[in-house]
Structure 1
Amino acid sequence: MIQETTSLRKIAALKKRIKVIRGGQGAGKTISILILLINHASSKAGREILILSSELTKMRLTVIKDFVKLMRQIGIYNESRFIAGTLYRFPNGSFIKFIGLDKSDVGKGLRSDVAYFNEVNKIDFESYRQVASRAGQVYADYNPDAEFYIDTDVIGREDCDFLQLTFQDNELLSDNERSEIMLYKHNGFYEDGTIKNNYWANLWNVYGLGNIGNLQGVIFENWNIVNDIPTEAQLLGYGLDFGFTNDPTALISVHKFNSELYIKELIYKTRLTNNDIVQRMIELGVDKYKDIIADSAEPKS
């Protein structure tokens, strides 16, 4: 028997084509979406439903395991209908297929009535775009470790519903996990709300409240501004973040001297095409024999 939660009711109320569900730990996002998809597949004939994540191996331990458990609870699971543990065919001709996007081009050309991106923040933009643009309905859920393309380019579209959930929306969460989540707040903040510890405060912000946070270990605090890079410093390479209209293109050079890194801003400008970027690199004398680490998720390049 399936018990209803606040999370399930809130997600079921979303009506637009794209449904984005951002949430913290224990919010019941995945279980609620699976319940809705199982109901959709079993009650409507001939539906084609895709459930996608970054890795199929991990899916077997998480979302596929949850799917089988729910199907058993509902009382409709038939192992002979679950082909290779990745494709479940319902008696009415509908199916749910689980796809890992860790192989190149696996998502190209896939059409569906419903596409559900589980932990969409771990899926690159191009894979998301290929599948989402061909789907009748889209569900996407994630823990907001850091801002990414869903936050900047999808939420806010006219055809997108956005919902933020927390563990407080999941009445079925165990007392143990609820206590662990509350520990993030206790360790991160004093009673007056001031920050006690940045690490725990970020965990509470992301996994407790479902707000966008900072990836731990990628925000550098021990830095300062210098007038010049030492002449003896070694050029290690370059970093390039593509932009175009509102987002600036950024190019930096990275140097090392006496175990310290020196970063020099070379380009920071909006509305640059790829040809513009190349021309600016030539003008700046960028060393073409050094590595340039670029933003691989940028859609136009």
Structure 2
Amino acid sequence: MNVTYTFEKLLAAFVDPKIRGVALKGGTRSGKTWAVLQLFHILCTNSEKPLIISCVAATLPMVKRGMQRDFKTMLVTECVWDENAFNKSEGTYTYPNGCMIEFFSVDNSSKVHGPARDILFVNEAQGIPREIFRQLDIRTRKKVVIDFNPVRKFWGETEFVGDRYVTIRSTYKDNPYLTKEQVGAIEKNRDDANWWRVYGEGETGGVEGNVYPTYEVIEDMPETYTGRCLGLDFGFVNDPTAIVDIRFHGWDLYVDLLCYETGLLNSHIADYLTGNMLNKLITVCDNAEQKSIVELQQRRIKAIPCVKGKGSVAGGIAQVKQFKLHVTKRSVKLLDELDNYKWIKDESTDTYTNEAIDAWNHALDALRYGVDYLIRRYRPK
């Protein structure tokens, strides 16, 4: 079996008993997915105990045209493909020793919340929401592997950190089996700076168009701070109610997502804040919801309306961006919003405007409300 340099790097990390997860971050044609499938085949062939390995992608077409097709091609090339071992309807391949590799998409929620596995592989992880990954991760007993083209910063750049995680960067140069024509097709794109950075060099692409392009993920909120409040953006049926804990010290802003749920009545919000002893904190709310604010006040919540003026969204964003932003690792939905909240692009000029999209902004709106209050309350005039 011909293996790439990417495979050798993956194998070294995978067999380390201290390592829980491996992220393969790389450019085009570096052999990331192929290397993972080779490793799984070798593992299943030689395992003394039955293993369950889940290989997942965002959609079923991606599964069938990507990993599943590559897996079959690989085994056919090695003359070991067993048609009887493959259950087409279930997307599973079972080895004589009981090891099984299953291929499925995460657009099927029952699969995400279904039975556990020994090993997890998430293919093209940049297309899968962080919460979906978390549900898969907690149901995985042994090892987790992801691969992705680093088109932008996303959860794969922040989840796979620490002593038990390894990130391996690879490029087309790690794949010695590419033809001269393939290499030439890749290298002709050197003049496209962002494309080359991502697909040629395997580095994280520019966060072009992101409203908040940089932030730091932290474990916990600081106990020492200059000012603190809660920010609250009301939702109900289609949109979630978002509540964030906001603290700042100097020019550092710390945020923790406390609540992100649909279907909450104002009484539920009040019960949540009181039950978690947060009712004594100022809660800055969307001022368009005056009735809701009064109802919270009647439940002894220190709810106040935010201040909005002309250009309030852009102005509020500018206020937040004065600070170095720190977000807790557990704030999954907020981190997803940060990765997806963008400026609107003017297609006629191919430039970004100063207007943000009206999506991926529930917790971020709550953040704006609170930051404006903290600046007015604590910053010297």
TM-score (structure 1 length as normaliser): 0.71
Aligned to 1:143: 149
C-alpha distance in 2 between matches for 1:170 and 1:294: 38
Structure 1: unaligned runs, 5 residues or longer: 188-199, 221-242, 253-266
For the residue of structure 2 that corresponds to 1:294, the secondary structure is coil
Aligned to 2:67: 63
* Cα pair distance change 1:297/1:94, threshold 3 Å: farther
**Correspondences of 1:1-301 after superposition (within 5 Å):** 2-14=1-13, 15=16, 16-44=19-47, 45-84=49-88, 86-135=91-140, 136-152=142-158, 154-185=159-190, 187=191, 200-214=192-206, 218=209, 270-271=254-255, 273-274=258-259, 279-282=283-286, 283-284=305-306, 293-294=359-360
| Maintained 8 Å contact 2:22/2:160 | no
C-alpha distance in 2 between matches for 1:165 and 1:93: 33
Deviations 1:36-68 (A, max 9, x none): 001111211411110011011121111111000
Alpha-carbon deviation of 1:4?
2.2
* Cα pair distance change 1:104/1:278, threshold 3 Å: farther
Deviations 1:247-300 (A, max 9, x none): xx9999xxxxxxxxxxxxxx99533544689932241168xxxx97336999xx
C-alpha distance in 2 between matches for 1:271 and 1:5: 42
- Which residue identity does 2:29 align to in structure 1? G
Deviates more, 1:53-62 or 1:141-150: 53-62
- Structure 1 vs Structure 2: percent identity of aligned residues? 23
Deviates more, 1:271-280 or 1:137-146: 271-280
* Cα pair distance change 1:69/1:159, threshold 3 Å: same
- Larger relative contact order (C-alpha < 8 A, sep ≥ 6)? 1
C-alpha distance in 2 between matches for 1:148 and 1:297: 17
C-alpha distance in 2 between matches for 1:116 and 1:3: 21
- Which residue identity does 2:65 align to in structure 1? L
Deviates more, 1:30-39 or 1:107-116: 107-116
- Which residue identity does 1:284 align to in structure 2? C
- Which residue identity does 1:108 align to in structure 2? H
Deviations 1:93-128 (A, max 9, x none): 110000100133531143111111111111111111
For the residue of structure 2 that corresponds to 1:184, the secondary structure is coil
- Which residue identity does 2:146 align to in structure 1? A
For the residue of structure 1 that corresponds to 2:104, the secondary structure is strand
| Maintained 8 Å contact 2:231/2:284 | no
* Cα pair distance change 1:27/1:92, threshold 3 Å: same
C-alpha distance in 1 between matches for 2:204 and 2:231: 23
**Bigger radius of gyration, 1 or 2?**
2
Alpha-carbon deviation of 1:215?
5.8
- Which residue identity does 1:5 align to in structure 2? T
Deviates more, 1:78-87 or 1:19-28: 78-87
Alpha-carbon deviation of 1:219?
5.4
| Maintained 8 Å contact 2:59/2:107 | yes
| Maintained 8 Å contact 1:23/1:144 | yes
* Cα pair distance change 1:244/1:91, threshold 3 Å: closer
Following TM superposition, the consecutive aligned residue runs of length 4 or more in structure 1 with deviations greater than 6 angstroms are 249-252
| Maintained 8 Å contact 2:54/2:117 | yes
* Cα pair distance change 1:92/1:130, threshold 3 Å: same
